[in-house]
Structure 1
Amino acid sequence: MTAAANLSVDQDIIYPDSDGQPMSDNTKQFEWIVTIKGGLDALYKDDPNVFVAGDLLWYPVYGNNKLRVAPDTMVAFGRPKGYRGSYKQWLEDNIAPQVVFEILSPGNTLKEMAKKLEFYEVYSVEEYYLYDLDKNDLRIWNRVEGRLTVVEVTPSWVSPRLGIRFELNSETMQIYRPDGRPFATYVELDRQRETAEQHASDAQQRAETAEKRAEELAAKLRALGIDPDA
């Protein structure tokens, strides 16, 4: 079959933008997915060639619409930001997402997660993070000499690709940007914004009060025949 015929056949293949599965099974899982995806969006907001997505189907092989996976969050360096219905790797300079995150839910089976690990192994993921919310257990695989290798997780780990730091305490996981600021939920970010606005308002009020007092003092000095500007 000629290349033109192959292309014609492939044009008839539909690559669905949805696998019919929910993004999350519960509120905690959803919050973590959104927090990680949003934190990475913010981290790379000024880099036009870092693409971050959440729950987006990734098709690694041209012509095969059965081979696919939807990481909870994925990061592709070297690819532009912008809308995609799915990530078709052959349309992305054949660049595979280098970093993927999965937040384990009660609906995930061992067989399903083993298949995902195999997929990420075969299709060149460099870093794979799997977080079990209920057990507060973080598992990390890092590509070493062409293979995804389990990382011995200590209370702290820094991503070679992202530069972000993962810390585990007795209750939960915290992720920190390279500048030390923590990833935060929308509620936490809104509270931080409100606090910053209140601090700015207080500072403005203090400045206005100081200026008023200075004007009152200057007026008193002038009444005494003293030039405050001399």
Structure 2
Amino acid sequence: MPTSLHKILSDIEYPDCDGLPMAESDAARDYLIYGTEALKLHFQHRSDVYVSGNLFIYYEQGSPKAVVAPDVFVVFGVEDKQRLSYKVWEENNKLPSFILEITSKSTRSEDQGTKKGLYAYLGIQEYFQYDPTADYLKPSLQGLRLLDGNYFPILPQADGSSLVLFSEVLGLELRRLQDGSFRFYCPETGERLGSLMEIEESRQAEREKSQKMAERLRQLGVNPEDL
């Protein structure tokens, strides 16, 4: 690359934010947080997997307008580290393999139109959408897989009253449960992936259960430490 062109490209600014507040419903924000936290925890032992959400992805060097900010995304083959934005040309041209958008009234058209076309063009292998209110997507959880440059629906698996879609990229199930909520599951163990808050709440519940059991044993004259 000629020095002058290199300098021009290096002088271009790529903003880390658009200066606008994130205007999301409570449900959309909660699922954005859940998705990023649950996947971060799931891949925490892999240093070559980057999980993030609502972060600017710049996909064309020299063009700050060539940017998109998926709600949740996963990139394989890059360093797991903090970033202010994700510039594809600085990451060995690695793009996300998995994207999840939390769809709402204000984002439905873009999620199913502009972003769908862009993600297919970029070669995003899997694109999922979830509508927490079930008002804008029927069914409220949908998945697409890229084949020969085009997206095709991921067929749901039968699992009682739950809607289950399998992500080949993640090796995980995305489930819309009977109450309409959404969670990731490990198909091998059936274990549900939790957020940081959910895991801490589960641990606290176990501690309280153990404390009550120990107190009950003491009332019966048994020292819990002797068991």
- TM-score strictly above 0.5: yes
Counterpart of 1:225? Answer: none
Q: Distance in 1 between matches of 2:110 and 2:28?
A: 20
Q: Distance in 2 between matches of 1:156 and 1:119?
A: 26
For residues 43-75 of structure 1, the C-alpha deviation after alignment (integer angstroms, 9 at most, x for no partner) is: 001111110001000011111111110000110
Trace 1:131-146 onto structure 2 (pairs within 5 A).
131-135=130-134, 137-146=140-149
SS in 2 for 1:158: strand
Query: Which runs of no fewer than 5 residues in structure 2 stay unpaired?
Result: 158-162
What's the % identity of the aligned pairs? 24
Do structure 1's residue 176 and structure 2's residue 175 form an aligned pair?
A: no
Q: CA RMSD in A?
A: 2.5
Per-residue displacement from partner, 1:52-104 (whole Å, max 9, x unpaired)?
A: 00100001111111111000011001111111111000110110011011001
TM (norm. structure 1) is: 0.82
Aligned length: 213
CA contact (8 A) 2:121 2:149 kept: no
5 Å-filtered alignment, 1:191-206, equals 191-202=201-212
Moved more, 24-33 or 37-46: 24-33
| Matched-pair contact (CA < 8 Å) for 1:165–1:175 | yes
Q: Rate the CA distance shift 1:50–1:203 in 2: closer, same or farther, 3 A.
A: farther
- Shift of the 186–211 alpha-carbon distance from structure 1 to 2, 3 Å rule, reads closer
Structure 2 length-normalised TM: 0.83
Q: Rg larger in 1 or in 2? A: 1
Instruction: Give ranges in structure 1 of 5+ residues lacking alignment.
Output: 215-230
Tell me, yes or no, if structure 1 residue 124 matches structure 2 residue 118: no
Say if 1:199 and 1:6 are closer, same or farther in 2 by CA, change over 3 A: same
Question: Structure 2 matches for 1:158-169, cutoff 5 A?
Answer: 158-169=166-177
1:102 match: 101
User: Structure 2 vs 1, CA of residues 105 and 157 (structure 1 numbering), >3 Å: closer, same or farther?
Assistant: same
Question: What does 1:20-99 correspond to in 2, within 5 Å?
Answer: 20-99=19-98
Query: For residue 77 of structure 2, what is the amino acid of its counterpart?
Result: G
